[in-house]
């Protein structure tokens, strides 16, 4: 007699390898951040905030494991954004303000970069993983037989995968603005009272961007053409606010450390819109 576990469909080996790889990447993120903190010549408030934010990404990899195990279609864009921004977030902490980076920090960064590249390769190059990540969220539905949990496809029309990538990338704008704003708050505590209005504006802008992105991407997923130029405008506005404030309040070091990840997310969002537009264009007549 076969047990229930034996009757379940066995996941492809590539999917099982991906879950193990994600778990290793989550652990490596914590280890590399601890190494950077240990060898950092200056363990100030800004480094503590950036390190804490980078270590939170390990939770993101654990949540991604859950999405992969459940076969969620949105796991691929989430994995891409998480991998890219993790490399930038960790890379900005490896290089100190002065001097050369420590060899353990460089080795850890190289290992983490290789793991993130492997994650993206499996998500986008493996046919087995692509065929597994096709399910939608389970919801309570009312049927003739009563109430039950069932997989419920979204009511909106199917959207291109690159639009999902743009959506996920845009959702990172708010935290990527709030982290440097919090770091700049340390400058206020150090006596730079002239920066108080700018820091408060930075916080408000970071919070407001989250609502603007939520509104825009909701219509983007429903195929509204006007939502695409609106997302481009939001992206350019975010860069126009965040990058100058990073340069003014945090210097060139802050511009590289905090502006770089945001710029990478913005490029991915715009590239996703461009790729989705190309995929939807009709083929030219011969």
Mean per-residue pLDDT of the chain? 80
pLDDT tier for residue 195 given thresholds of 50, 70 and 90: confident
- The angle at the Cα of 210, spanning 46 to 207, to the nearest 5 degrees, equals 50
How far apart are the C-alpha atoms of 96 and 118, rounded to whole Å? 27
Same domain membership, residue 238 and residue 110: no
Inter-CA distances, 209 with 161, 202, 226, 247, 258, Å: 23, 11, 18, 20, 17
Do residues 168 and 74 share a domain?
A: no
CA-derived radius of gyration, the chain: 21
> Which pLDDT belongs to residue 192?
66
Q: Which domain holds residue 222?
A: 157-280
Could you tell me if 144 and 211 lie in one domain?
Answer: no
Q: Is the pLDDT of residue 90 over 50?
A: yes
Which tokens go with 35? 């190494």
Q: Is residue 25 part of a domain?
A: yes
257: in domain = yes
Please tell me the predicted confidence (pLDDT) of residue 3.
42
Q: Which of 31, 16, 94, 29 is nearest to 60 (CA)?
A: 29
Q: Is residue 37 part of a domain?
A: yes
Q: What integer pLDDT is reported at residue 160 of this predicted model? A: 64
CA 176 to chain centre: 10
- Give CA separation, 120 vs 95, 125, 136, 267, in Å: 25, 8, 21, 17
For the chain, how many structural domains are there in total?
2
Which of 102, 137, 153 is the last residue in one of the domains? 153
Of the three residues 135, 153, 171, the one that is the final residue of a domain is: 153
DSSP helix/strand/coil, 74: coil
Name residue, tokens 């279609």: 73
- Residue 84: name the closest of 239, 243, 242, 265 by CA: 265
pLDDT score of 151:
55
Cβ distance 255 to 243 under 8 Å?
Answer: yes
**What is residue 221's predicted lDDT score, i.e. its pLDDT?**
85
Choice between 197 and 158, residue whose per-residue pLDDT is larger: 197
Nearest to 269, CA basis, from 173, 185, 199: 173
Is 45 domain-assigned?
Answer: yes
The per-residue pLDDT for range 244-254, each reduced to its tens digit, is: 999 988 888 78
State the sign of the Cα–Cα–Cα–Cα dihedral 68, 263, 105, 107: positive
Residues 19, 97, single domain; the answer is yes
Helices 45-69 + 173-189 axis angle, to 10: 160
One domain, residues 149 and 15? yes
Please state the pTM of the whole predicted model.
Answer: 0.76
Does residue 18 sit in the same domain as residue 65? yes
Q: Are residues 148 and 248 in the same domain?
A: no
276 and 169 within one domain? yes
Both 122 and 186 in one domain: the answer is no
Structural domain includes residue 20: yes
Percent of residues, the chain, with pLDDT higher than 90? 28
pLDDT digits (tens, 9 = 90+) for 30-85: 888 777 777 666 666 667 777 777 777 888 898 999 889 888 877 888 888 888 88
Residue of 240, 177, 248 lying closest to 210 (CA atoms)? 177
Cα separation, 239 vs 262, in Å, equals 8
pLDDT digits (tens, 9 = 90+) for 91-147: 766 666 666 667 777 888 889 899 999 999 999 888 888 888 876 566 555 556 656
Whether pLDDT at 148 is above 60: no
Does 285 fall in a domain?
no
75 and 107 in a single domain? The answer is: yes
- Range with the lowest mean pLDDT among 39-43, 161-165, 173-177, 202-206? 39-43
């Amino acid at each position: 007699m076969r047990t229930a576990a034996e009757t379940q469909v066995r996941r492809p080996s590539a999917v099982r390898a991906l879950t193990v790889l994600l778990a290793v990447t989550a652990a490596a993120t914590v280890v590399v951040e601890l190494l950077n903190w240990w060898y950092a010549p200056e363990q100030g408030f800004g480094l503590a905030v950036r390190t804490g934010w980078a270590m939170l990404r390990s939770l993101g990899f654990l949540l991604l494991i859950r999405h992969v195990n459940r076969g969620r279609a949105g796991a691929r864009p989430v994995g891409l954004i998480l991998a890219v921004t993790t490399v930038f977030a960790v890379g900005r902490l490896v290089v100190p303000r002065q001097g050369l980076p420590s060899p353990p920090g460089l080795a850890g960064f190289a290992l983490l970069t290789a793991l993130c590249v492997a994650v993206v390769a499996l998500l986008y190059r493996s046919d087995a993983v692509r065929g597994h990540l096709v399910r939608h969220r389970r919801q309570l539905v009312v049927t003739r037989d009563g109430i039950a949990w069932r997989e419920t496809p979204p009511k909106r029309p199917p959207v291109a995968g690159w639009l999902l990538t743009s959506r996920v990338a845009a959702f990172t704008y708010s935290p990527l603005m709030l982290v440097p704003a919090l770091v700049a708050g340390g400058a206020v505590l150090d006596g730079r009272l002239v920066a108080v209005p700018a820091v408060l504006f930075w916080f408000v802008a970071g919070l407001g961007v989250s609502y603007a992105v939520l509104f825009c991407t909701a219509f983007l997923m429903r195929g509204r053409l006007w939502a695409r130029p609106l997302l481009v405008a939001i992206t350019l506005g975010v860069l126009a606010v965040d990058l100058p404030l990073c340069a003014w309040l945090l210097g060139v070091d802050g511009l590289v450390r905090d502006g770089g990840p945001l710029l990478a997310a913005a490029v991915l969002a715009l590239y996703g819109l461009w790729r989705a537009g190309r995929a939807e264009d009709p083929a030219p007549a011969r």
